[in-house]
Structure 1
Amino acid sequence: MTPNTNETQIQNNTIELLKNMGYTYISPEEMKDYRTNTGQVLLKDILLHQLQKLNSFEYKGTIFPFSPKNIAKAIDDIDESINEGLMTANQKISDLLMMGKSFTEEPVSGVKKSFSLNYIDFKDPSNNVFHFTEEFVVNRETKNEKEKTRRPDLVLFVNGIPFAVIELKKSSRGTEEGISQMIRNQGKKEIPQLFKYVQVTLAGNNHSPQYATTGTPEKFYAVWEEEDEKVKASVSQLVKDREVSKLDKTIVSLFTKERILSLMHSYIIFDGKTKKIARYQQYFAVEKIMNRVKNFDNTGRRAGGLIWHTQGSGKSLTMVMLAKVIKKEIVNSKIVIVTDRKNLDKQIHNTFNNSEVKAARARSGHNLIELLQEGKTVITTLIHKFKKVKHEKIILDNPNIFIMVDEAHRTQNTDKMDSLHKSMKKVFPSACYLGFTGTPLMKKEKSSFDKFGGEIHRYTIDQAVRDKAVLPLLYEGRLVEQWISDEKGLDRRFEKIAKYLNEEQTLDLKRKWARFQRVASSERRLEMIMLDINEHFKQHIQGTGFKAMLATNSKYEAIKYHKLFQEEGEVKTAFVISAPDTREGHSEVDEDNKQYILEEWNKIIEKYGDEESYTDKIEDDFIYGDEIEILIVVEKLLTGFDAPRASVLYIDRNLKEHNLLQAIARVNRLYDGKDFGFIVDYRGLLGDLDKALNDYSGLADFDEDDIQGAVFDIKDEIAKVKTYYSYLEELFGAGTSVPLTDSIKDGTEVPTPDRILYADDQEGYQVLLGDEEKRKLFYEYLSHYARALKLAFSSDKIEEIFSEKEINNFRQKLKFYNELRKAVKIRYHEVVDFGKYEKQMQKLLDTFISADEMGQLTKLVNIFDAEFDAEIERMVGDNARADAILSASTATIRERMESNPAYYEKLSLRIKEILEEYKDKRLSEEEKLKQAKDIRKMLLPSDEEEEEGKYPETLKHNVQAKAFYDNLNNYFSMVAEAMPTYENKTSEDVLSKVVLKIDQMFSEVSKKPDWKNNTEVRKTIEGQVEELLWDLEDEYSVKFDNLDTILATIHSIGINNY
């Protein structure tokens, strides 16, 4: 059966599904009985009933209900003010929902005690009531916009409290549109009073829904993949007489009553002020761990195991959520989080302390035992601390101690670490050991991890990339030895880098290249790599908001690279190394340069005080600041370091196995405008990437399935330039277009259309883009084309895939289409940029597409702007000028429509008539322009001569009264014939007096705070207007049959003008 992808049908399907899941539907009409006004989002009658039902307290064997006063106070308390911001209010409300609140009761006279009252029964879901509604009208916070309300598609309630919002889109529209709408609605001027309660948000179409929580940025919206077979099976029973969609599966997975209460109770945390909800792999990992640890072996130990969640997928937060659940479900439990490096211990300690699961940090092995004996329930420590504790022969034999070992593979694979692991087990012989790793296990490690208890849960690299939890990594090898072997090699490299640069850029590169004549051949390698990185970063990354890392082979090389970059003076760098006497598990490769390194280290200590302060400062500057563009590292910060702005890792270091996988994952984190992480390898670690990954020596010890998707050949992405190019050409060539489905957005290639039409006629292109749907496709296609082309130019491989002729054609087409975008923006008065990709687009144009000829997009000017006439005159042709005026006028009409519908609807209709008349060739371009200017004139402030005769003299200069006059005129003209001329009065005279009285009413009531949301104010005005009209009926013997419509019109005009 073909699924119906219409938005209304999708919403109706979802309504039926929620009903089948046991939710009670409240229609928009019925919802009016549950709310006093559209500013109120709590269903207070339902909440009142549920609080009375769920809560009571016991005193001396007698059960008492909570007093009406405290029940009312509980309802008031959860309606938290948003004065301190949405997320502060949301956190306070979330705490109340999870933990309840204590109230003082007086069970018997003179006795006062505190008792806990709960809003939700998390233990027994059947005690709660679940409702939902559609098109839930909520007042916006702003009073100055034309749209005064928002209408989320679906809102779900538990015990009368809104906990979820769903935005649905038809299948031809992207999920991003629904997410954008969801995020917009949480803004200060929008409907934060709804979202302050919300725990789960869901947006999308039938085939690609994504979920999050309040405050989540778009890039962190996630997909849910169900792992519970019973839940999977239930979907087909709940969805009747139609095909099951991905949306159906997601709704059942998230909103089954037991599941949603579990998510709310244990799997939503605040990381500082940032609210986060578990991704599906985190939820199922914790659930499986909890099922595992509830089993005991014959020695009384709990079963443990290993969790492999690929780097960047939220492993640290999984540990926080696990700790939270353990503390709730296992009485007197204690949790110790163990790492093997100081920076990782600090990082995970901070992660815990930013959440509600606070952790102590053990300063020493002895302090670790003290903290446990003092009753601390969550502690972070280093594995090395256990050696001293073992020597003191301290043993804590308790099966309720849980040891979480981070990067567990490192505690197993050396004799020294294995010894420390044994020390840990001697101190805690009955503890439950849970190992976490961000990289897959090598074949030789798998058997050794059986002592942990075997694998509990895995989330592979391939899964994370597919779910967009991390970014795909694109690999390019650059064999520097080929460039520096002789002078010809240097010349070939120069020509490749300079090929598509302009004259000024080429001269600058020549100046730099001359240095190689002066550099000894032994030093050329570092110099060449530095210059290659310098040019690559400057041409492709600098100024886009992104950064890079450089992994080097030794401390000496790290310092040397930094000095070389400083000499060049175009890219800001810093380096991080450990103290010179730290060997970090390797023989010292810097033996011959010890004095040089020591001198540099002493300068660092003199400046920063100590190693930790130095590392912290460089980390913070790189992550948050703008003073470091490339961070040079040796071993420190190649693991466990999160810097989402880092988009490129340059490798000049021999890396293999876990170290290689951990290093490349530094650039796989999500960030706005970042589609990929890039690996530029100067060591040839993965050759041409034309074999299975485990065929390369650096990854040979892994199973192929475990490392699938770790990196992709950049050539495969470069080839997609042609695909996106063909979409653009087809859009204008054959007059049809390829629909941009989610799979195409992800880069899936489709056959290139047979017919490609070329044209130099910008006017023809602009006219074709008069169709709004075609414009949307044009912007989408151009965005993808520009991003693909930018990627192609950043790689040496572009010339292996495309001929020089093709490359030049791609460049010229990008220039043409960008100029078209600028013209279309003005002509159809649209705010058009590529948002998070705009800086990258401009970088590409500036560097490779004749920067001197390319202007940036200009800011839109409205019809009232002093620059508007000049902007119009710069356009070519009367038709283009007319379109620009009419489009800008339409935007103004849209903004003002609700303030005077009768007037602006008339103008809107006239614009449509002008466009139709021109299309039918009943107007020339010149006539179209003249009429467009007349429309604009009607929107500009009028002078007194133009006002003459339009309105009665008494309404002159009164904009609000004129709005009433325009919109009530029709109703009064209907009774004009029945209204005799009486003492020279006409219906217009009578109407002018009526609207002046109405104007006076609104002028008075609008002085009251929040009058627009006050139902009593509305009733008062309606009563006064009714009396006014009744008096007219009596005086002139006429009848207003449509009184309700008149009252609604007056209310709308008043709300939008005062």
Structure 2
Amino acid sequence: MNQHPKNYDIVAFGGEQTVVVEYTPDPRDQASYQSEAQLEAEFIKQLQTQAYEYVNITSEAELVANLRVQLEALNDYQFSDTEWKQFFETRIASAGDGIVEKTVRMQEDHVQLLTRDDGTTKNISLIDKQHIHSNRLQVINQYAVDRGHGETGHSGGANYSNRYDVTVLVNGLPMVHIELKRRGVPIREAFNQIDRYQRDSFWAGSGLFDYVQLFVSSNGTQTKYYSNTTRRQHINDQTGARRSKKTSNSFEFTSWWADAKNTPILDLTAFAKTFFAKHSLLSILTRYCVLTSDRLLLVMRPYQIVATEKILQKIDISTNYNTLGSIAAGGYVWHTTGSGKTLTSFKTAQLASRLDSVDKVIFVVDRKDLDYQTMKEYDRFEKGAANSNTSTAVLKRQLEDPSKKIIITTIQKLSTFIAGNKQHEVYGGHVVLIFDECHRSQFGDMHTAITKAFKRYNLFGFTGTPIFAENSSGGGNPQLRTTEQAFGDKLHTYTIVDAITDKNVLPFRIDYVNTIKVGNVGDKQVSAIDTETALLAPVRVSQVVSYIREHFDQKTKRSEGYALGERRVRGFNSLFATASITAARSYYLEFQRQQAGLVPDQRLKVATIFSYAANPDTEDGMLDEEGFETDALTGDARAFLEGAIADYNAMFGVSYDTSADGFQNYYKDLSQRLKTRELDLVIVVNMFLTGFDATTMNTLWVDKNLKSHGLIQAYSRTNRILNSVKTYGNIVAFRDLEAATNDAIALFGNKHATGIVLLKPYRDYFEEYSEKVTALLAQYVPGELIVGEDEQRAFARLYGDILRLRNILTSFDDFAADEILTERDRQDFQSTYLDLWNERKKAAGSEKESIADDVVFEIELIKQVEINVDYILMLVQKYRDERGDGDDVELRAGISRAIDSSPTLRNKKDLIENFVDSVSVTGEIDAEWRAYVATERERELAAIIAAESLREEETERFMAAAFRDGVLRTSGVEITRVLPPVSRFARSGGHGEKKQRVVELLQAFFERFSGLGGGGSNA
């Protein structure tokens, strides 16, 4: 592998291991300042020492010719010219194929059928996944793409000319692209450059660069990698593609490479020696990428790969040394909550099932996780892999079917099967048992029954919070009190500190809120009160609910106001963890009392869920498992739950109850509405505090004692990465959990981890904010034009930094009194910022490149707190009331300033300003606005219909549906019904051009009137 033996100690596994065991920086790898050209030359030279062939290819003709040679070598077959033309045009560069189709081809359909000249057929491999070293690696640089004037697409040229830095070819196909910036330049600029190539040129010509599976961005000092899904989804978001999935969609989802001890390998030379080692790169491309059922490509992170290979190695060794059926044949993987255990365990199960010695792989989860979370995740990875049928007959058929190598089931169902099938032949086969979240319910009699029944097994567990002697409750089987006792040696560790350092999960920000004054207790503490009854005193319950309602928008980053008739959807939502069913009931009823009489849009949407009371034997602060046995509830508790579910039914127009099936469906529906932000807050006892993942959740309100793994599990509901707005998980504790928090972080991180896991103090962020705002005010005048490309870049970066810091600071209660920028200055600077952003969007389709292409615009942050119609109408009301009083001129200017500072109101500016000028002296502003918008919308749509000769009724119905659904659907037959009849004698392409023009006009119209009210769902 051409690696320095002292620094890269590879431990053999199946010949070679993908991730180096331990990395020690080599002083020879450290470089001083390097130009981009020097960095590129050094990188290519390093790859050449690692058996990459450098080839001088700078055009598509040369790329295609080389591809033919490489595929002929891989398949030991010589194409005739006609065979190659046919194969290339139909199997490689098919017209209309894009990133998704080519990714599917490489991941699932890499053997393509060639029809030979004599009519026979032959399989042609694009990549050899069985014998990975049969694949040939080449490296090219400065590949040129010329600007063309034809139609965009595979037959046309790029939007404008580009030269790509470095590309790795696998059997002649571009599979890995590396974009470099000189040392000292932010690495995000290389990421943005790749985005621009996708927008402007990757698709050009035959579209061979759409075969790129992995991207690498580096400035020499720092290097990250990511899949083509990250790039594709990021492009969708940046170009305004509607309904794009929030999965791996931005720079936040790129990954560091590391060694097996989780030490990041950042320097480009070290990255080249490890990540680009031939075996490592080919293993990642052929084994450690997962194409989900919705066609998103996920590439595994180094710690996931290490854990997978450790398990495969253990299976191999235990098979060869006859230790199957013992604890020595197993082990556990400690990967912190939120780090992607489901993906790791799926890939482990998949690869283990392919081993010749293994008969079955059984993936075992807790019942509710299979039914509502893991099943959906596994189904994403492999359609039909899991089923939630509660009958063991299904499990029995799967176990007896030789073709079913992977079986996903619950520990309850597996235990039932064992109890009813004492002598089944499956027990004698080589079975790999993988337990998900093995810190929970697998330490009791069910665990013992499983290990006694199977004879030749490997037993592996995945957990985010292992049970150690320090946090063992001592219950259950006395021999199985720790994870190690139950599963064997720890095979790999990736702690919460590792994950936060790598930015794979978010840090926490904790407020300790005092609600009861006892002695000299400070404002940020809660006295340790033993009696739960005292804590449920009505006055305290009222104070807690008032605090949550008062601070909800601040903590969850909800917009301060909303357009008429719009449901709040931006920002995040939350859980409220209570100590008992009695507490949950008290808080739920208090929310109802305080919100009685409010209009729907002023209320928080609150729900509650619980099943049975906590186990009295559970140690205080530990989380007990809740199932679905509502029959175990007391009469009063069940009656209250029935009432709460009835409230939920009324809120959403559904029909659930506390029966067995009704409650499970309620759980499922409620969890889904949490993820789609239809609920603001869910009051729980233990449910949802372990195993539940919702990236839209950022706040946990806590009024219960938590400790150890229970505390980390509960806190970790809030720290999943979503977007640039969500920068940490919010914990608001109404009890003094500070010591318990520090102890838990020390146990599951390290003794010095608190500063990493918890957000820095307020003053640290405010001082940096103050410095940057001072620099902003010293260099730029609010509202004035910024001249010169360098100055525009500098301003955009500085203001972006300020937006990011302000995003953190706004959730601190202290910030309101400390804010430096006035509202007017913020609006003026924001308007300038948006001007630069709009310039970049306009430049995308022109010959001129935008000066801001390498700047990250924090539009998502602006949209979180942007001015909206409600705010504008409030100003209009004030303007009308004060007209002629002398202040109306400033108010009028303030309205225009506010509109300019909003990314979604700018294209509505003339509408709003015309309304301001026409507003009556005495009318009701809201009613006048709705009538005005309805009239203007009708008038402008009529103008489009007339200009394009559209079908009037169909167009009106089409747009009404768009405003009702919140999306303009431009695919399908609906849009064709809008278009006028096209003569069969029309010139070729006329219909397509007409449709495209109409779609663009209607899309612009839709965006112009969305969120304004005046008809449809927005009225």
Bin the TM-score by the shorter chain. Answer: 0.5 to 0.7
In the alignment, the residues of structure 1 paired with residue 571 and residue 748 of structure 2 have an alpha-carbon distance, to the nearest angstrom, of 37
- Structure having the larger proportion of residues in helix: 1
- Opposite residue 441 of structure 2, the aligned amino acid is T
8 Å contact from structure 2 (residues 496, 757) kept in 1:
no
Indicate how the Cα distance of structure 1 residues 784 and 90 shifts in structure 2: closer, same or farther if over 3 A, else same.
Answer: same
Question: Of 89, 92, 100, which aligns to 1:87?
Answer: 100
In the alignment, the residues of structure 2 paired with residue 427 and residue 223 of structure 1 have an alpha-carbon distance, to the nearest angstrom, of 42
In the alignment, the residues of structure 2 paired with residue 17 and residue 1005 of structure 1 have an alpha-carbon distance, to the nearest angstrom, of 52
8 Å contact from structure 1 (residues 550, 650) kept in 2:
yes
In the alignment, the residues of structure 2 paired with residue 777 and residue 615 of structure 1 have an alpha-carbon distance, to the nearest angstrom, of 50
Match of 1:727 in 2: 772
- Opposite residue 484 of structure 2, the aligned amino acid is F
Structure 1 residue 311, shift from structure 2 partner? 0.9
Match of 1:435 in 2: 461
Show the 5 A alignment for 1:33-52. Answer: 35=61, 43-52=63-72
Query: SS of the residue aligned with 2:185?
Result: coil
Question: Of 161, 167, 175, which aligns to 2:187?
Answer: 175
Match of 1:597 in 2: 641
Match of 2:505 in 1: 470
Match of 1:650 in 2: 701
Q: Does 1:281 align with 2:294?
A: no
CA-atom RMSD in angstroms: 4.6
Indicate how the Cα distance of structure 1 residues 23 and 457 shifts in structure 2: closer, same or farther if over 3 A, else same.
Answer: same
Show the 5 A alignment for 1:314-713. Answer: 314-330=340-356, 332-356=358-382, 358-361=384-387, 363-375=390-402, 376-392=404-420, 393-395=422-424, 396-398=426-428, 400-412=430-442, 417-444=443-470, 449-482=484-517, 522-540=537-555, 541-543=557-559, 544-566=570-592, 567-568=594-595, 569=598, 570-579=602-611, 585=625, 593-601=637-645, 607-608=655-656, 610-624=662-676, 626-687=677-738, 693-694=742-743, 702=747, 705=750, 708-709=753-754, 712-713=757-758
- Opposite residue 41 of structure 2, the aligned amino acid is N
Question: Of 215, 218, 224, which aligns to 1:204?
Answer: 218
8 Å contact from structure 2 (residues 867, 898) kept in 1:
no
Structure 1 residue 699, shift from structure 2 partner? 7.0
* Structure 1, 46-55 or 451-460: larger mean CA deviation: 46-55
In the alignment, the residues of structure 2 paired with residue 660 and residue 866 of structure 1 have an alpha-carbon distance, to the nearest angstrom, of 49
In the alignment, the residues of structure 2 paired with residue 357 and residue 592 of structure 1 have an alpha-carbon distance, to the nearest angstrom, of 43
8 Å contact from structure 1 (residues 50, 128) kept in 2:
no
Query: SS of the residue aligned with 1:436?
Result: strand
Number of aligned residue pairs: give it: 763
Indicate how the Cα distance of structure 1 residues 130 and 855 shifts in structure 2: closer, same or farther if over 3 A, else same.
Answer: same
Match of 1:159 in 2: 171
- Opposite residue 205 of structure 1, the aligned amino acid is N
In the alignment, the residues of structure 2 paired with residue 254 and residue 658 of structure 1 have an alpha-carbon distance, to the nearest angstrom, of 34
8 Å contact from structure 1 (residues 717, 788) kept in 2:
no
Query: SS of the residue aligned with 1:619?
Result: helix
In the alignment, the residues of structure 2 paired with residue 367 and residue 1005 of structure 1 have an alpha-carbon distance, to the nearest angstrom, of 57
Structure 1 residue 813, shift from structure 2 partner? 5.6
* Residues 510-569 of structure 1 deviation map (CA, whole Å, 9 limit, x = unaligned): xxxxxxxxxx99312222212211111234522343222222233454455445445524
8 Å contact from structure 2 (residues 807, 861) kept in 1:
no
* Residues 485-521 of structure 1 deviation map (CA, whole Å, 9 limit, x = unaligned): 89x999x99xxxxxxxxxxxxxxxxxxxxxxxxxx99
Q: Does 1:225 align with 2:261?
A: no
- Opposite residue 537 of structure 2, the aligned amino acid is S
Match of 2:126 in 1: 119
Greater relative contact order (CA < 8 Å, ≥ 6 in sequence): 2
Match of 2:245 in 1: none
8 Å contact from structure 1 (residues 335, 402) kept in 2:
yes
Match of 2:335 in 1: 309
8 Å contact from structure 1 (residues 397, 430) kept in 2:
yes
Query: SS of the residue aligned with 1:480?
Result: coil
In the alignment, the residues of structure 1 paired with residue 115 and residue 793 of structure 2 have an alpha-carbon distance, to the nearest angstrom, of 59
8 Å contact from structure 1 (residues 24, 132) kept in 2:
yes
Indicate how the Cα distance of structure 1 residues 479 and 342 shifts in structure 2: closer, same or farther if over 3 A, else same.
Answer: same
Indicate how the Cα distance of structure 1 residues 707 and 613 shifts in structure 2: closer, same or farther if over 3 A, else same.
Answer: farther
In the alignment, the residues of structure 1 paired with residue 713 and residue 578 of structure 2 have an alpha-carbon distance, to the nearest angstrom, of 15
Query: SS of the residue aligned with 1:384?
Result: helix
Query: SS of the residue aligned with 1:255?
Result: coil
Indicate how the Cα distance of structure 1 residues 597 and 829 shifts in structure 2: closer, same or farther if over 3 A, else same.
Answer: closer
Match of 1:129 in 2: 136
* Structure 2: unaligned runs, 5 residues or longer: 1-29, 231-248, 473-480, 525-534, 560-569, 616-623, 841-851, 876-890, 915-986, 994-1019
Query: SS of the residue aligned with 1:186?
Result: helix
In the alignment, the residues of structure 2 paired with residue 539 and residue 410 of structure 1 have an alpha-carbon distance, to the nearest angstrom, of 34
Match of 2:288 in 1: 267
* Residues 155-184 of structure 1 deviation map (CA, whole Å, 9 limit, x = unaligned): 211111110111112233322222233234
- Opposite residue 681 of structure 1, the aligned amino acid is V
Structure 1 residue 369, shift from structure 2 partner? 3.0
Structure 1 residue 147, shift from structure 2 partner? 3.7
In the alignment, the residues of structure 1 paired with residue 664 and residue 648 of structure 2 have an alpha-carbon distance, to the nearest angstrom, of 11
Structure 1 residue 323, shift from structure 2 partner? 1.8
Query: SS of the residue aligned with 2:183?
Result: coil
Indicate how the Cα distance of structure 1 residues 105 and 385 shifts in structure 2: closer, same or farther if over 3 A, else same.
Answer: same
Match of 2:793 in 1: 776
In the alignment, the residues of structure 1 paired with residue 775 and residue 184 of structure 2 have an alpha-carbon distance, to the nearest angstrom, of 19
Query: SS of the residue aligned with 1:182?
Result: helix
Match of 1:762 in 2: 781
Structure 1 residue 384, shift from structure 2 partner? 1.6
* Residues 356-406 of structure 1 deviation map (CA, whole Å, 9 limit, x = unaligned): 475243634453232111121111111122332332314433453111101
Match of 1:498 in 2: none
Query: SS of the residue aligned with 1:167?
Result: strand
In the alignment, the residues of structure 2 paired with residue 781 and residue 727 of structure 1 have an alpha-carbon distance, to the nearest angstrom, of 7
Match of 1:148 in 2: 160
Query: SS of the residue aligned with 1:31?
Result: coil
Query: SS of the residue aligned with 1:727?
Result: helix
8 Å contact from structure 1 (residues 470, 668) kept in 2:
yes
* Residues 756-805 of structure 1 deviation map (CA, whole Å, 9 limit, x = unaligned): xxxxx938x958x5354344343333333344345334234x38xxxxxx
- Opposite residue 607 of structure 2, the aligned amino acid is F
Structure 1 residue 452, shift from structure 2 partner? 1.9
In the alignment, the residues of structure 1 paired with residue 317 and residue 65 of structure 2 have an alpha-carbon distance, to the nearest angstrom, of 45
Structure 1 residue 266, shift from structure 2 partner? 0.9
Structure 1 residue 443, shift from structure 2 partner? 3.0
- Opposite residue 401 of structure 1, the aligned amino acid is V
Structure 1 residue 118, shift from structure 2 partner? 2.0
In the alignment, the residues of structure 2 paired with residue 66 and residue 828 of structure 1 have an alpha-carbon distance, to the nearest angstrom, of 50
Indicate how the Cα distance of structure 1 residues 319 and 67 shifts in structure 2: closer, same or farther if over 3 A, else same.
Answer: farther
In the alignment, the residues of structure 1 paired with residue 185 and residue 315 of structure 2 have an alpha-carbon distance, to the nearest angstrom, of 45
8 Å contact from structure 2 (residues 324, 456) kept in 1:
yes
Query: SS of the residue aligned with 1:135?
Result: strand
- Opposite residue 134 of structure 1, the aligned amino acid is N
8 Å contact from structure 1 (residues 724, 785) kept in 2:
yes
Query: SS of the residue aligned with 1:170?
Result: coil
In the alignment, the residues of structure 2 paired with residue 82 and residue 653 of structure 1 have an alpha-carbon distance, to the nearest angstrom, of 60
8 Å contact from structure 2 (residues 608, 682) kept in 1:
yes
Query: SS of the residue aligned with 2:574?
Result: strand
Structure 1 residue 202, shift from structure 2 partner? 0.9
Q: Does 1:836 align with 2:849?
A: no
Structure 1 residue 651, shift from structure 2 partner? 1.3
In the alignment, the residues of structure 2 paired with residue 182 and residue 368 of structure 1 have an alpha-carbon distance, to the nearest angstrom, of 47
In the alignment, the residues of structure 1 paired with residue 899 and residue 157 of structure 2 have an alpha-carbon distance, to the nearest angstrom, of 30
Indicate how the Cα distance of structure 1 residues 47 and 284 shifts in structure 2: closer, same or farther if over 3 A, else same.
Answer: same
In the alignment, the residues of structure 2 paired with residue 245 and residue 278 of structure 1 have an alpha-carbon distance, to the nearest angstrom, of 17
Structure 1 residue 470, shift from structure 2 partner? 0.7
Indicate how the Cα distance of structure 1 residues 717 and 387 shifts in structure 2: closer, same or farther if over 3 A, else same.
Answer: same
Query: SS of the residue aligned with 1:458?
Result: strand
Structure 1 residue 85, shift from structure 2 partner? 5.0
- Opposite residue 617 of structure 1, the aligned amino acid is D
